[in-house]
Amino acid sequence: MFEIGLVVASLILLIFSLYILQAKYRSQRSQQKFLAQLCLQLEQQKIERQALDLGTVPQEFAPLYHTLDELLKALPASAGKDKLTGLVNRVGLKRALTSMMPLTQGTLVLIDIYRFRYVNDLFGFVFGDILLKQFAERLNSLSLSPRLIARLNGDEFCLYYEQALTEEQLIHLRGRLQVPFSIKNTPVSVKLQIGCVHLQEHHADTSQMLRRVDLALKKARHSRSAIAYYAENDDIQQLRELRIIDSLPKGLQRNQVYMVYQAKQDIATGRCFQVEALMRWEHDELGVISPGEFIPLAEYAGMIDLVSQWALDQVLAQQAKWRAAGIQLCVAVNLSTRDLDSETLPQEIAARLAHYKLPPESLMIEITESTLMADLTKAVETLDKIRALGVRLAIDDFGTGHSSLAYLKHLPVNEVKIDKAFLKDLEQDKPSEYILEASINIAKKLGYEVTVEGIETPEIREILVDMGVDTLQGMYYAKPMRAAELEMNWARLHNAM
């Protein structure tokens, strides 16, 4: 690997020298043409390792040309191989697929070892490397043998079959690869997700094919499916997603993204003491974009910090205006998994509260249940620090994830928000009513306030009041409103009984 690094570094320096020479000799057409052709061929070496062949070489460039040619010849064949598993790597796969073009038959399969990083976290990187080696060996021993096998990155493997695989064959393939491994006398089970492209229907150039199989795998991840297939409109969806990601910073700057506030009703008094801040985006070309669409994309693109900081600033700036106008309330804002990963989040919240001269109890942070369960220990540590500031905390969408009530006693929160999914068929379905009432009772006995969201009828409201819910939120009480509209309705919301 060190030798490869030296060769590649030498190539980079020589290519840089070429561009300097190109500028130096730009007035001389023959030299410039030669240098342009040489640069083009060197770029091609990223895919195909071929000898340089430029015909006549100007005398002044002969030493440089021959040095480059020798360096290219010195590149070992392992440059297209994965050192750990011995499989073809991404460069080698591209090279092999390109040499077989056009590919109008067969199946491209992309396999992901689900949550492989937990193997490294639990057992260490040596253990993880052994698992990857054994997985590669299993791929090589498949009875349904692929033409090409490649390791693309840490936990992704790509297979090319010359025949069109049926769904039954893919299910069998997945089952064969998921048989538990034995590593250092420890049984290790893996779960696989698969993306698939049938080339007879969706053949293209190498880069396009690899992008499409990656889209199929992404579809499997998002839908939590075992196997997903590329479809024609996936390209359209990806272009939309790329456009959303690209225009999000501009949307924040140009106020296309804005906050609305939905009032919550305190059952004991009938008044409003809290509102939840909700993001909205009116894109100038794509129209209204739901937070359910652009927030996951912001997380994927590494921009969630930008969005969360913007949201906190918007909410706290508005809070300062309301307090100056005599409107006293607590505003809840949602934060994401990535936000909780930040060790400086408590300090950032404290600094913002000080900047806007706001008491900590004027802010509530809502965290979804699935966010908490991603890394419970770390989440609790961060939430403890935030609560120590005096900021209120709530679990949002409780009951829709996988934590159940078992983890509730560990969470340093003030409030549990029960998801509107519990209200479906509540009036006609007694088991749903019993489950909801039991959840409310347990949360209250543990000392938490309980809010139920999604209230749309007076009948549902009365059932929840009888169950002892503390706070209600939903269209029956108040719709989400811009700040100015909330101010106009504040007297009615705050003074209602």
In angstroms, the CA 392 to CA 210 distance is 47
For residue 2, is pLDDT > 80?
no
Beta bridge partners of 272: 265
Q: pLDDT digit string (tens) for 297-351?
A: 888 788 888 999 999 999 999 999 999 999 999 999 998 877 888 889 999 999 9
Share of the chain above pLDDT 70, in %: 80
Mean pLDDT across the stretch 399-418? 71
- The confidence score (pLDDT) of residue 43 equals 47
State mean pLDDT over 187-209: 85
Q: Is the pLDDT of residue 73 over 70?
A: no
User: Confidence band (pLDDT; 50, 70, 90) for 48?
Assistant: very low
Mean pLDDT, to the nearest integer, of 362-389?
Answer: 83
CA–CA dist 423, 421 (Å, integer) = 5
pLDDT above 90 covers a percentage of the chain that reads 36
Closest-CA residue to 230 (of 199, 204, 205, 197): 197
Q: Which residues pair with 353 in a beta bridge?
A: none
User: What is the DSSP code (8-state) at residue 481?
Assistant: B
Report whether 274 contacts 290 (CB < 8 A): no
Identify which of 208, 207, 146, 211 has the alpha carbon closest to the alpha carbon of residue 173: 146
- Fold classification of 90-231 is Alpha-Beta Plaits (3.30.70)
d(CA 448, CA 480): 25
Domain ranges, ordered by start, for the chain: 2-75, 90-231, 248-495
pLDDT tens column, 255-306: 999 999 999 999 989 899 999 999 999 999 999 999 988 988 888 788 888 9
Task: Tell me which residue of 256, 366, 249 sits closest to 297, measured CA to CA.
Answer: 249
Q: What is the arithmetic mean of pLDDT over 80-88?
A: 86
pLDDT of 447 above 90: no
Instruction: Read off the pLDDT of each residue in 470-478 and give the average, rounded to a whole number.
Output: 91
Work out the mean pLDDT of the chain and round it to a whole number. Answer: 82
Asked whether 331 and 261 are in contact (CB, 8 A), the reply is: yes
Is the pLDDT score of 8 beyond 80?
no
Sorting pLDDT into bands at 50, 70 and 90, what band is 41? low
- Determine the pLDDT at residue 94: 87
Which class would CATH give 248-495? alpha beta
